[in-house]
Amino acid sequence: MTTPSVLRGLWLPLITPFKDGAVDGASVKRLIRHYLSLPVDGLILAATTGEGMTLEEEEIRRLVDIARDEVARDPTGGARLPLFVGLSGSDTAKGVKALRRTADWPVDGYLITCPYYSRPSQQGLELHFGALAEVTDRPIAIYNIPYRTGVNMANDTLLELARRDTIVGVKDCSADAGQSFDLIRRRPAGFSVMTGEDAFYYTALTLGADGGILASAHVETATFARVRDRLAANDLPAALEAWREIADLTRLLFAEPNPAPVKHWLWREGLIDSPELRLPMTPVTAGLAARIDQEIDRRRRASSRH
């Protein structure tokens, strides 16, 4: 693989707004328009942050259609913004069927999680993703997150899969800095390593990662992008200054299970009409809600002084 992957820069795993138990289409539209005005390089729908495992297939299709329509209408050229959709599961045959069913969906690629709970061998992981890659011409990004799935895809396995044209990168949540750097060092041209560890975004970029897929970047999006841009320009002092502005934010927004804190923040900012989640996810506690509210107010005051 020698062509650059589309998977670069700052991507958002978009939350899914709910209202009275249903997907809130009006809030989805508002969110899409908001992020089209910001330096975001791609969106992923119905992934973990988007509570994808609680969504029916027709709800995911509705999200995709709304997002594609809003992107196409964007007067600033956002029609070029890629849209990926999240897929997960532990049955290869069902994954193949899902890719075939979504073949006519207006998406640009997929973020596919390693099989969870069953804990397959490295050979099983390679055969699983190999089978998925055979049935689509669209780009696939592998989501390696062993603390959720129970299995860690080894770099040798990833690098073997990277030989396939349709497997274009990885969302790396291995939580092992040595493994991540080894992958960055050894990966072929055109294969993207995107960190999914929000708190290690700055570090991952300094090690050579191509960007991040970050739930926290729903908030202070431009500052997250500035970290990336300043590092790309070799302006380390400015990059570090930007990172200092948001480093604590990543911890606050993961103080309780994602995406509850992010949804509370977006609701307080008026970007979604409700912070509602679907069980088993629950809203933030009163204590964390108060901390988030205080941080929003603090940032508003700081912004008004500038």
Give the residue among 61, 192, 185 at the shortest CA–CA distance from 139: 192
Rounded to an integer, what is the distance from CA 98 to the centroid of its chain? 20
CA dihedral 278, 116, 253, 233 (to 10 degrees): -130
Cα separation of 304 and 266, whole Å? 19
Respond yes or no: is residue 29 known to be catalytic.
no
Cα separation of 160 and 128, whole Å? 13
80, 145, 191 from 148: Cα distances, Å: 32, 6, 24
Q: Read off the amino acid at residue 113.
A: T
**What tokens appear for 12 in the block?**
């958002």
Respond yes or no: is residue 202 known to be catalytic.
no
Cα separation of 40 and 218, whole Å? 10
Find the catalytic residue in 35, 143, 201, 202: 143
Find the catalytic residue in 35, 110, 171, 202: 171
CA dihedral 216, 187, 44, 154 (to 10 degrees): -80
Q: Read off the amino acid at residue 136.
A: T
Catalytic residues: 143, 171
